[in-house]
Structure 1
Amino acid sequence: MLHEVDEALRELVTSRALNGSDVRLVFEAPTREWAARRNTPTINAYLYDVREDVKRRETGVARVYAEGGRVAAYRRPPRYYRLSYLVTAWTKQPEDEHRLLSAVLGCLLRHETLPETMLPTGGILATAGMPVPVTAALPPADPRSITELWSALGGELKPSLDVVVLAPFPVTPDLPAGPPVTELEVELHDGEPTVSEVRRRSLT
């Protein structure tokens, strides 16, 4: 699922923010060593945190129906995960970096969710058929986290966008349903009917 979000973000940013320019988009950690090797204008989207959004966790199951309306399985609701990206621009001039960040921010603000057409075909996200919300530059829960992140990376603090994608992750496999009850055998004891056995037979 993580790589699918990467691909969707790459497609969205390169096609609708960078507009086919020679600016690269990478997902590497922006360490001091990485910055020294860079020699072309670059947007870096570093995935620095993955955690479940427990407020969205649901209980229970949904029925999965087979042909004829028979319950074939039970499906548990998906778990939602917050994927946090540190998005930075790297060029020779600060003004150019600011222009790139503005272009990326404007692109993301126009899309409350990742476009369905940009989700990898046949992947988890496309198959789930659920929206994938994306936010940019919202106030972080802990303002110190970004500073501490830069310290951990060993780099110098740069202007950045905190981009968060809320991605559903299906809980698999489905729970199979037993064959339906089609007959009930009743025995009489002292004149009172009691259920002694339930015979289960498939309808097919």
Structure 2
Amino acid sequence: MLYDLDRTLEEFLKAELPNRFGDSVSTTPIAITFVTPIESLVTPPALNLFLYDIRENQELRSGSWSVARQNDGTAAREPPLVRIDCSYLITCWTSDSKDYITEHTILGEVMQVLMSYSSLPPTVLIGTLADSDLPLRTSVLGQAKLQSLGEFWQAMGGKPKATLNYTVTLSMPVNTGVQELPLVMNSLILGESND
């Protein structure tokens, strides 16, 4: 599921970004990577999407089970889907670490693309995500789920960079199994008599 999300984001950005750059950015193709954002691991020019946090979205948790009527006179009862927030730090890397103009231009274009969609379009979803019952909501520029970006960059052994925070909310079924239930075909109203 996470690999399908990476592939979806890569193809989505590759499709959306070429139409936006014009003459302001180098014509060299920009790679999209998902490695830990350390300068020596990223071959510039590159856009790096580092998946740094995965957690259940408690606000979207539902306690309601879904019930669907079956053709055999029973009903199937399924637990609600679990909603998972996958948060990425997005950075841009160029061959000249002082080329902030190109980095900021690319990040600005990426920000415009991502902010144009409140959820990932169903047409770009790959693999298991294509079967998702719920839209894949997104959030751009939300609060990073890190205590400190400065501490993050220090732990990575690098210098701080301009960073976008991007979160995609996936839905995932809980494998507790479907419960088969008999359907009530007649109802008895108490207090009435057939006299």
Tell me the TM-score normalised to structure 1 length.
0.77
**Deviation, structure 1 residue 181:** 7.8
1:89 aligns with 2:114: no
**Deviation, structure 1 residue 108:** 0.3
Residue of structure 1 aligned with 2:71, choices 64, 67, 70: 67
CA–CA distance in structure 1, aligned partners of residues 167 and 132 of structure 2: 19
Secondary structure of 1:10's aligned partner: helix
CA–CA distance in structure 2, aligned partners of residues 18 and 137 of structure 1: 22
Which residue pairs with 2:23 in the alignment?
none
CA–CA distance in structure 1, aligned partners of residues 112 and 173 of structure 2: 31
Which residue pairs with 1:109 in the alignment?
115
**Deviation, structure 1 residue 178:** 4.4
Which residue pairs with 1:14 in the alignment?
14
Q: Contact 2:137–2:168 at 8 Å: present in 1 too?
A: yes
Secondary structure of 2:170's aligned partner: strand
**Deviation, structure 1 residue 67:** 2.3
Identity %: 29
Secondary structure of 2:68's aligned partner: strand
1:130 aligns with 2:137: no
How many residues are treated as equivalent by the alignment? 175
Which residue pairs with 2:31 in the alignment?
24
Q: Contact 1:80–1:166 at 8 Å: present in 2 too?
A: yes
CA–CA distance in structure 1, aligned partners of residues 7 and 47 of structure 2: 14
Secondary structure of 2:165's aligned partner: strand
Paired residue type of 2:7: E
CA RMSD in angstroms, aligned pairs only: 2.3
CA–CA distance in structure 1, aligned partners of residues 89 and 145 of structure 2: 14
Q: Contact 1:86–1:163 at 8 Å: present in 2 too?
A: yes
Unaligned runs of 5+ in 2: 20-26, 186-195
CA offsets 1:111-140 (integer angstroms, 9 cap, x no match): 11011011114x1x3223211111111244
Q: Contact 1:18–1:103 at 8 Å: present in 2 too?
A: no
1:170 aligns with 2:177: no
CA–CA distance in structure 2, aligned partners of residues 72 and 21 of structure 1: 57
Secondary structure of 2:148's aligned partner: helix
CA–CA distance in structure 1, aligned partners of residues 145 and 40 of structure 2: 31
Q: Contact 2:88–2:165 at 8 Å: present in 1 too?
A: yes
Mark the structure with the bigger radius of gyration. Answer: 1
**Deviation, structure 1 residue 65:** 2.5
CA offsets 1:173-200 (integer angstroms, 9 cap, x no match): 5323145689xxxxxxxxxxxxxxxxxx
Distance 1:39 1:7, change over 3 A: closer
CA–CA distance in structure 2, aligned partners of residues 43 and 178 of structure 1: 51
**Deviation, structure 1 residue 97:** 0.6
Tell me the TM-score normalised to structure 2 length.
0.80
